Structure 1
Amino acid sequence: MTFTLVAALIGLALIDSTSFGTLLIPIWLLLTPGRLRAGRIAAYLGTVAVFYFGIGILLVLGADAALTAVGAIDIPPVPLRIGQLILGILIIALSYRLEARAERRSGSPGKIQRWRSRTMSGSGNARSLMKLALVAAALEVATMLPYLAAVGLIANADLAWQLTGFVLAAYCVVMTLPAIALALARLAAHQRVDPFLQRINDWFTRNSAKALGWTVGGIGIGITLNAATVLAVNPT
């Protein structure tokens, strides 16, 4: 484990912590009127963290097998860089499509709000809240490119399997830290924190589509520029 790897993973985890499932839904849950049921928030965030940990383990195992297979194939560097360039351009194009789709769906949070009212009230139960966590995580896991990038870094670091599991678990905990901090603040200072949570909720509701497009597009631009630079400097 190097400092660069740790810093990169922390940065990616903090980006992931601002997603719909890891921050916006917890904020909606925290805005439920009345006394905060801390156990319900813990059940939601715990389910999200465990889900991503399991997905990460599966991806690391698959990435390790894929890297081994690719390493056995003798492919010249130029075709690889051209493939990287094409991949970057495709990701940039995908960012526009994801942003447009998110904008079309931005006006329909009613189902999530109804789930919130039911699961956070006395009439609901933790099972429905855990179901909400699984649905939210499953729907966005394919678009959480920072997490996929982090899994790639971990798989490529050639760590012992015990350390790999620890790093993935720590990553998933960091993903939930902003929501945990807001929950603790809500418990400690209900009246003072609610206006702040409402402003965050309003901002994410207005800008979630653009944030998704910027995140995916930024990753695509980075991949494209890296491939173009290498091809320009060393075209053979």
Structure 2
Amino acid sequence: MDLVTLGLLAGLALVDSTSIGTLVLPLVLLTAPRVDVRRYLVFLGTVGGFYALVGIGLVLGADAAVRLLAEVGDLTWLRWVELVVGGVLLTAGLVGDLVLARVRRWRAPRGAVGGAVGGAVAGEPAATPRRTASWRSRLVGPGASYRVVVGVGLAAALVEVASMLPFLGAVGIITAADLPLAASVGVVVAYALVMVAPALLLLAGRLALGSRVEGPLARFSGWLERVTSGASWWVFAVVGLLLVGDASRALGLG
């Protein structure tokens, strides 16, 4: 695995680092009047460990399937699949918001267009804000034991894992790299560490600057929650671009 591919995986991991489980909820813990460092690290360890275990399982399963298919022919088609999937995601990221707005405008009754365009994404769970608020109250409430922190971390990771395109794209890239077993596991663990690295940096800043950063962190948390609960088409575009670049390089097209 060359430096370009490692940089690609690092980029995908940083996109993943902005999710609810890896940044929004950690910010909730950081904006509390008193930061419990051990509880914070337990939460991040739970989320990061969950993704590492899921990633290892997916890579091992996909690697076994690829090796089985390799016995019957060339696997160049796998790179073409990556190229097509990346192109679809890139296109969706660039024009998806516009297309969705036009569909809403066409389907909405007269007089309700503004509300439809400004509403939640079609197919997005309506309970997402309430669920996040529930997790927040459990993390900073009086009953926020270590067991509760671990439970919230697992719940957030379980809800998000199937929809985290960068994570699933990274699994595909690691599988296509045809690494030895130990190297594949090591790359997945490193990916999970990069995912939680921004939250660790924010913890260091919070401990160093104290209450002076409570206001900025609270505003950043509110903005990030609004972004992650809306139409994050930029995630599609970034992941699509990275996958297209990786596949094009492997196929000698770029």
Give the TM-score of the pair, scaled to structure 1.
Answer: 0.79
Query: 100, 108, 133: which one pairs with 2:121?
Result: 100
Query: 220, 236, 245: which one pairs with 1:216?
Result: 236
- Equivalent in the alignment of 2:18: 18
Q: Number of residues paired by the alignment?
A: 228
Query: 137, 156, 161: which one pairs with 1:117?
Result: 137
Task: Tell me how far 1:14 sits from its aligned partner.
Answer: 0.9
Q: 2 CA distance for matches of 1:196 and 1:162?
A: 41
* Residues 53 and 169 in structure 1, CA contact (< 8 A), matched pair in contact too: yes
**In angstroms, what is the RMSD of aligned CA positions?**
3.5
* Residues 31 and 214 in structure 2, CA contact (< 8 A), matched pair in contact too: yes
What residue identity is the alignment partner of 1:48?
V
- Equivalent in the alignment of 1:134: 154
Mind listing any 5+ residue stretches in structure 1 that lack a counterpart? none
Q: 1:198 to 1:211 in 2, by over 3 A?
A: farther
What residue identity is the alignment partner of 1:55?
V
Deviates more, 1:36-45 or 1:199-208: 199-208
Task: Tell me how far 1:66 sits from its aligned partner.
Answer: 2.1
* Residues 60 and 155 in structure 1, CA contact (< 8 A), matched pair in contact too: yes
Q: 2 CA distance for matches of 1:17 and 1:175?
A: 4
Q: 2 CA distance for matches of 1:100 and 1:206?
A: 12
- Of Structure 1 and Structure 2, the greater helix share is in 1
What residue identity is the alignment partner of 1:22?
T
Q: 1:122 to 1:137 in 2, by over 3 A?
A: same
* Residues 89 and 236 in structure 2, CA contact (< 8 A), matched pair in contact too: no
* Residues 89 and 221 in structure 1, CA contact (< 8 A), matched pair in contact too: no
Task: Tell me how far 1:148 sits from its aligned partner.
Answer: 1.3
What residue identity is the alignment partner of 1:186?
R
In the TM superposition, what are the counterparts of 1:80-91 in structure 2 within 5 Å? 81=80, 85=84, 88-89=87-88
SS at match of 2:188: helix
SS at match of 1:189: helix
- Equivalent in the alignment of 2:188: 168
* Residues 87 and 241 in structure 2, CA contact (< 8 A), matched pair in contact too: yes
Q: 2 CA distance for matches of 1:210 and 1:83?
A: 26
Task: Tell me how far 1:104 sits from its aligned partner.
Answer: 6.3
SS at match of 1:40: helix
Q: 2 CA distance for matches of 1:226 and 1:41?
A: 35
**% same residue:** 36
What residue identity is the alignment partner of 1:43?
V
Task: Tell me how far 1:208 sits from its aligned partner.
Answer: 2.0
Task: Tell me how far 1:20 sits from its aligned partner.
Answer: 1.6
Q: 1 CA distance for matches of 2:82 and 2:3?
A: 30
Q: 1:11 to 1:37 in 2, by over 3 A?
A: same
- Equivalent in the alignment of 2:68: 69
Q: 2 CA distance for matches of 1:84 and 1:166?
A: 25
Query: 185, 199, 205: which one pairs with 1:179?
Result: 199
Q: 1:35 to 1:163 in 2, by over 3 A?
A: same
Q: 1:137 to 1:92 in 2, by over 3 A?
A: farther
SS at match of 2:162: helix
What residue identity is the alignment partner of 2:48?
A
What residue identity is the alignment partner of 2:49?
V
SS at match of 1:18: coil
Q: 2 CA distance for matches of 1:6 and 1:109?
A: 34
SS at match of 2:232: helix
Q: 2 CA distance for matches of 1:131 and 1:144?
A: 20
Deviates more, 1:61-70 or 1:167-176: 61-70
Q: Does 1:51 align with 2:50?
A: yes
Q: 2 CA distance for matches of 1:150 and 1:57?
A: 11
